[in-house]
Amino acid sequence: MIAIQLTNTRAWLEAHQRLVLAAAAITAIAYPFVVKPYILSLGIEVLIFAIFAMSLDLLLGYTGLPSFGHAAFFGLGAYIVAYMTSRNELALGLTDNLLLALPVVLLATALVAVVVGFFALRTSGIYFLMITLAFAQMLFSIAIRWSSVTGGSDGLTGVPRPALGLGGFTYAFESRESFYFLVLGLFLTVWLLLRRIVSSPFGMTLRGIRENEQRMRALGYNTFRYKTAAFALAGMFASVSGLLLAQYFWHAAPQNLYWAMSGQVLIMLVVGGTGTLTGPILGAALMRLLPNFASTYTDRWQTLLGLVLIMFVLFAPKGIVGVLRGGRKQP
């Protein structure tokens, strides 16, 4: 009898999950056709920052690495694509072809992440947090001072919208609606890849490192290599969001490398819930939408935002996902 009840419950949950996914897919497809341009812009921003937050979750939620310099890879992705596409003297043929620009961004960011991880991952805890912050601030300083390459405090402007070019076929994502579907496609790709990663033996090893790294070493795992791989993957996924943001706003700014951006995505992750792929999405939606809507009703929207964050810390330490699952802080 118990086995039958468990089977029925599992079947109901699977059917409910399929129904939710179908409703989400229909909503995502119809979204740009039923909302105003401003609301569509907010949706694009939410998807971009959801990719950014999911990339950090691979470090913090699944590997237990509290990075405070993740904006380094976000900003690096933005600057690489901006430099390749807005500086004609390169003549690389990457002006608008995403199929060429994206691999270059991913490879360059991965190399930087491996170098940074080689030094940062030799520390742990607060020291790891501080050294990642130091690397990000170093890149921010370079972006401000190396004006001949980065545009200085003004950043790089004139970043064109991407296009897909293969053979004699080219499609440019010039309209807001077409760019939304590009961002949606990359968001789903990153989500599926991360879901596969965290469910694989590699992902299970990362969770073991998060829970007890010494025990994983005793079992024969080279935890440094696993953490380096996770650090590089997280940097690559973060660069995708930076690339999209630069192409959406036609601009790569040094603020994308600043510590405040790292703090912003960290808050998204904490509010949404770490250790899940749903939490970063919900956190990104709340932290991007709440300030925009609250500011239309009150000039004290920052106070309201602070109160919301305090409420989450006090009463929902596991974030929105924890609330939805019935999680509560124990007295």
Closest by alpha carbon to 57, among 284, 216, 316, 303?
284
Q: Is the pTM of this model over 0.85?
A: yes
Percent of the chain with pLDDT over 90: 59
pLDDT band at 11 (very low <50, low <70, confident <90, very high): low
Contact predicate 155/252, CB 8 Å: yes
Sequence ranges of the domains in the chain: 1-34, 38-263
Q: Tell me the per-residue pLDDT of 281-296, one tens digit each, with 9 for 90 and over.
A: 999 999 999 888 888 8
Angstrom distance (rounded) from CA 4 to CA 202? 33
Angstrom distance (rounded) from CA 306 to CA 303? 5
pLDDT band at 167 (very low <50, low <70, confident <90, very high): confident
Angstrom distance (rounded) from CA 281 to CA 157? 29
Angstrom distance (rounded) from CA 157 to CA 179? 18
Please tell me the predicted confidence (pLDDT) of residue 233.
97
* Residue 292 C-alpha from the chain's centroid: 20
